[in-house]
Amino acid sequence: MRAEHSVSPSVPPSPSGGPPSTDIPPLPTGPRARIRRRPLTWFFLLAFALSWLAWTPYVLSENGLAVWHFAFPGSGGASQLLGVLPGAYLGPITSAFVVTAATDGRPGLRVWLRRMGHWRVGWRWYAAVALSVPAVLTLSSVALAGRTPAWPSTAVLLAYVPGLVVQMVTTGLAEEPGWRDFAMPRMQRRHSPVVATLTVGVLWGLWHLPLYLSDWGGWPDVSWDLPLEFVVTTVAFSFVMTWVFNRTNESLPLAMLCHTSVNNFISIAWSGMFPSLSTRDITHAFLLSSVTAALVVIISTRGRLGLPSDSASFDATPVHH
């Protein structure tokens, strides 16, 4: 019998019956194709660009550099709510939605939204996160102050839970669907949990930098080491966030609670409990708490950060990066 020569399916035969064509079809072009090839890169670029663009009026206003002679209405948190929150919503959550829709379509959006609605985790997790975050911050502040804290007032106790709910639907919902829900699962498919957390933690911290040119960051009384300390803190705290996210089967509400419990405790309870400490001291307390907790989870999990043992850090299937 005469031997038959097989032709690779990737090289189509010539329509005229001649030798197989060696022409390689061109890669798809256009914005959607480019996003599909590098979804993480596009997510981070869009998150930074959209937020920083939206924050520009706030930074240039009298709430910041005073280049433009107008101020956002309200005082303290009210002006920050109007000046900062729109940029936060235009950054991580919007970028995650756009890139997910472009790369994975409706099925990908369903998975993304499913993690956002993954509330059904044991109540002990909610209690542990909601109580341990202020407890650890209190212990760190006690170490800095050298004295026991004052007992929170009745007004603080009554405002604490409503404040936490507000933080969940503002800061938590604006940021975490991007950093944790979108970025971390993709990063952990290609890198170890430690490398993935370091990357997201650094970018999460750097994303806040323009706000140090506004009253959000204490402008004009901002020294160069303050934003540096903040970035180091976000990196360390990201290890805690990754551990909570992984251990709860990627529950975004638990990750949001972990994040916003810090904001809520600092904004509502901390100054009354430690009147002798300055606002700069709380940044030190947050750094001390985050580094300590990060070392505990890294050492105790041997770098797995709660990622299940049957889940490989480097997935064998192709993944958009």
- Tell me the pLDDT tens digit for each residue of 276-286: 999 899 999 99
Quick count: other Cβ atoms within 10 Å of Cβ 290? 25
Our measurement of the distance from residue 116's CA atom to the centroid of its chain's CA atoms, rounded to an integer in Å, reads 13
**What pLDDT is stored for residue 81 in this prediction?**
86
Read off the DSSP letter of residue 312: -
* pLDDT (0 to 100) of residue 19: 55
Which residues are CB-neighbours of 113 under 8 A, at least 6 positions away? Answer: none
* Residue percentage of the chain with pLDDT more than 70: 86
Instruction: Give the CA count within 13 Å in the CB-facing half-sphere of 48.
Output: 14
- What is the C-alpha separation between 249 and 115, in angstroms, rounded? 9
Tokens representing residue 30 in the block: 């256009």
pTM: 0.86
With a cut of 70, list the residues of the chain below it in pLDDT.
1-29, 75-76, 310-321
Place of tokens 């105790």: 300
Does residue 305 contact residue 239 with C-beta atoms inside 8 Å? Answer: yes
pLDDT score recorded for residue 29 = 64
pLDDT given at position 80: 85
Check: CB of residue 258 under 8 Å from CB of residue 241. yes
- What pLDDT is attached to residue 129? 97
Residue given tokens 């770098």 in the structure block: 303
Residue the block writes with tokens 């805690």: 240
